[in-house]
Amino acid sequence: MRIVTVGREFGSGGREVGKRLADELGFHYYDKEIITEIAKRTQLDENYVETKLEKGLDSNFHITYSHTFMYPYSPMQNDIKILISERQIIKELAAAGRDFVIVGRNADILLAEYKPFNIFVYADSDSKVARCRARADASEKLSDRELKKQIRKIDSNRAKHRELLTNSKWGSKEAYHLCVNTTNITIKDIIPVIGAYASTWFEKHGL
């Protein structure tokens, strides 16, 4: 079984990389169905789960995580239920044995035993703002400065959640096989090459 994980900075186009790469390689792309299954198991609203996981859980989550076991009805309870459920589902998907691409969710750590090919996608700040603007609906009225602040906040939350699982720093290149800078790049242009890189890697590692 071959697994590609895509870590990414918010706004760098990592999700697009993941989707297109799955098409390129003929792999399954797990995304929406994870959200649906989490919602089902936690009995939380699907949009709530999606927003929570996309925007990052509460930034105090890390600090309050350990407290929660002492105060089991803290407001963080939902966040923890979501993460535990997400972890369980990702493990089950991998056990099902299909080749797949998965974006975010610390899947590189959770699935390390399967020797996934791990990509990290990043970009400079202006480029991330431009990508966020291109995909946001017209109601988004944030200034560039506010948007940059939001991007930093989301990435900071992601980094904190990673710390729950591992000592390896989120976005630190050592944890990945390939790091791709999408500044001034049209993502579909680079997909065939990234796909070829992943294929070479799997082949040479006997996967």
Proportion of the chain in helix, strand, coil states, percent, rounded to 5: 60, 10, 30
Binding segment for its own copies (CB under 8 A), chosen from 17-25, 53-61, 93-101, 199-207, is: 199-207
- Cα 10 from Cα 14, distance rounded (Å): 8
The sign of the dihedral angle between the CA atoms of 106, 111, 112, 115 is negative
Does 114 bind its own copies (CB under 8 A)? Our answer is no
Backbone angles phi, psi at 26, to 5 degrees: 70, 30
72, with CB counted inside 10 A (0-12, 13-18, 19+), is exposed
State the helix-helix crossing angle for 144-165 and 61-68, rounded to 10 degrees. Answer: 40
Binding segment for its own copies (CB under 8 A), chosen from 30-38, 44-52, 95-103, 182-190, is: 182-190
Does 189 bind its own copies (CB under 8 A)? Our answer is yes
CB of 187 to its own copies, least distance (A): 11
Q: Identity (one letter) of the amino acid at 57?
A: L
89/121 with CB nearer its own copies = 121
Binding mask 73-102 for its own copies (x = CB under 8 A): ------------------------------
Binding mask 147-176 for its own copies (x = CB under 8 A): ------------------------x-xx-x
Interface ranges with its own copies (CB under 8 A): 120, 122, 124, 171, 173-174, 176-181, 183-186, 189-190, 192-194, 196-197, 200-201, 204-205
